[in-house]
Amino acid sequence: MERTLAIETVKAVGKEVKLQGWVNTRRDHGKIMFLDLRDRSGIVQLVSTKDLADARAEDVIEVVGLVKERPASMVNPKIETGTVEVEIKSIAIISKARELPFPIDTDGYDINEEIRMKYRYLDIRRSRMTRNLRVRSKVTTFIRNYLTVLDFVEVETPMLTKTTPEGARDFIVPSRLQKGKFYALPQSPQQYKQLLMVAGLERYFQIVRCFRDEDPRKDRAYGEFTQLDMEMSFVTQNDILSLIELMFTKLVGEIFPEKHISQSPWPRIPHKEAMATYGTDKPDIRKDKNDPNELAFSWTIDFPLFTEQSEEDFYHGSGAAKFAPSHHMFTSPHPDDIGLLDTDPMKVRGLQHDLVLNGYEVGGGSIRIHEREVQEKVFDLIGFSEKQKSQFEHMLTAFTYGVPPHGGIAPGIDRLVMSILGEPTIREVMAFPASSSGQTSVMDAPSDATPEQLKELGITVISKKKL
């Protein structure tokens, strides 16, 4: 017999069906016993007058039974299959479940996060988490379809690569073949996507993992996150902003019909004005902050190209220069301000654009520099040594072979889904995030390497005591 899903039972009244899933709940009422069976489609009530002593919550079972319409007084409007129940003919326990370490029939917010992460595969059984992962999948599928129709090409770029300057600390990976040398995991595919523009693709996207060794915050997970990375040639900043605005407006309409976008077109707020009016470059411009269905998108534009360099900007340059890129070092200066690069760099505006949703920065991008001389000047201003410059020689070389003007953006998928769903942290929309202390869920990395692995890599670990 073919398997029937819980949701399909409503259309199978009078038929015998085979169901497979988990025991969601069990209720004993003397001579009659109820089990709710849960599968990926939902829940259906099973009923039996026989003793089902062995079937306990979270056991995996297979049931053959007769679908019956419930009498009107017994209809449960709270579940989609509330008009029917399945009379059990036979039941087999496929896999027993131990008692779970925490309840999964609640929203789970009040459960210790480390325990939730340790047993994430159980935590995901709760309906809120299952919904979040399904919604996220719908979002990425929508984006893929939308952009593919617009002639964008999805390209995968390397994960084992060289440092990419997004301003954070890199994760490094030792090389076995070249002992003493290291790869860096990409902070973003920034350089590759620009090289793909030189390659003539014109329209690129990738739903891609990025790695940054930064301290976690509620809108930032430790270690890795996913972004929709995009790049386009022969575009203006307005083209990029309009495309994103249209795509996300359609996405919200299709996937989140209960939500409303409070202002359209999305306001484009110059950085200076945002700071003066809201005291932040990511203003929360919702009309009613108590309304969970309001989505207030806005753009912040006209950022200064540079900020004063601080200790933390060590990763950008030598530390000797005064200027740090406010976005990253490939962002183009505003064409009207090019002259100021020599005279008053802090006054130069950049062609940067940040996407803000309900007070969260959910994406950033820019029109890029495509002239070798301007790129070199920016490297100088941020205090790159000749050695550091040589690390980017491939970009400067590429720019000598006919480079189209280009620009892009990278909305964060986790942040976007978190903000739309109104989830309190980014980890609530990730399947297996690292905990806030940097331990990976379930697998509990980082962990020790064996002496053999270290030997092969030519690495000696200094014991903690000596550090």
Q: How far is the CB of 15 from ligand ASP (least distance, A)?
A: 53
Interface region with ligand ASP, contact rule CB under 6 A, candidates 11-19, 130-138, 364-372, 396-404:
364-372
Instruction: Please tell me the count of residues contacting ligand ASP according to CB under 6 A.
Output: 9
Tokens, residue 333: 């200066």
Give the Cα separation of 355 and 296 in Å (integer).
Answer: 11
Which CB sits closer to ligand ASP, 223 or 408?
408
Per CB under 6 A, which of residues 403..432 are in contact with ligand ASP? 408-410
Angle at 260 between CA 259 and CA 262, to 5 degrees: 145
Give the Cα separation of 21 and 23 in Å (integer).
Answer: 7
Which CB sits closer to ligand ASP, 305 or 410?
410
Question: Which residues touch 74 (CB under 8 Å, ≥6 apart)?
Answer: 85
Per CB under 6 A, which of residues 269..308 are in contact with ligand ASP? none
Which CB sits closer to ligand ASP, 194 or 441?
194
User: Does 166 sit near ligand ASP (CB under 6 A)?
Assistant: yes
Tokens, residue 158: 């390397």
Q: The dihedral of CA 126, 129, 131, 134: what is its sign?
A: negative
Q: How far is the CB of 433 from ligand ASP (least distance, A)?
A: 18
Q: How far is the CB of 199 from ligand ASP (least distance, A)?
A: 17
Which of 289, 240, 227 lies closest to 268, judged by CA?
240
Interface region with ligand ASP, contact rule CB under 6 A, candidates 9-17, 59-67, 105-113, 362-370:
362-370
Please tell me whether 110 is known to bind a ligand.
Answer: no
User: Does 366 sit near ligand ASP (CB under 6 A)?
Assistant: yes
Please tell me whether 327 is known to bind a ligand.
Answer: yes
Q: How far is the CB of 369 from ligand ASP (least distance, A)?
A: 12
First to last CA, the chain: 64
Residue 355 has phi, psi (to 5 degrees) of: -100, 130
Instruction: Give the β-pairing of 223-233 and 268-270.
Output: unpaired
The site map against ligand ASP for 180-209 (x = CB under 6 A) is --------x-x-------------------
Among 364, 383, 411, 433, binds ligand ASP (CB under 6 A): 364
Give the Cα separation of 341 and 347 in Å (integer).
Answer: 8
Question: What kind and span of H or E run contains 299?
Answer: strand 297-301
Please tell me whether 361 is known to bind a ligand.
Answer: yes
DSSP H stretches of helix in 158-236: 190-198
Please tell me whether 213 is known to bind a ligand.
Answer: yes
Tokens, residue 64: 């053959």
Give the Cα separation of 166 and 213 in Å (integer).
Answer: 11
Interface region with ligand ASP, contact rule CB under 6 A, candidates 66-74, 98-106, 116-124, 360-368:
360-368
Which CB sits closer to ligand ASP, 185 or 410?
410
Give the Cα separation of 326 and 381 in Å (integer).
Answer: 13
Which CB sits closer to ligand ASP, 88 or 247?
247
Question: What kind and span of H or E run contains 39?
Answer: strand 32-39
Which CB sits closer to ligand ASP, 408 or 433?
408
Residue 331 has phi, psi (to 5 degrees) of: -75, 135
Tokens, residue 17: 């069906």
Which CB sits closer to ligand ASP, 65 or 408?
408
Please tell me whether 368 is known to bind a ligand.
Answer: yes
Residues at the binding site for L-aspartate are 166, 212, 327, 368
List binding-site positions for ATP: 212-214, 361, 412-415
Residue ranges in contact with ligand ASP by CB under 6 A: 166, 188, 190, 364-366, 408-410
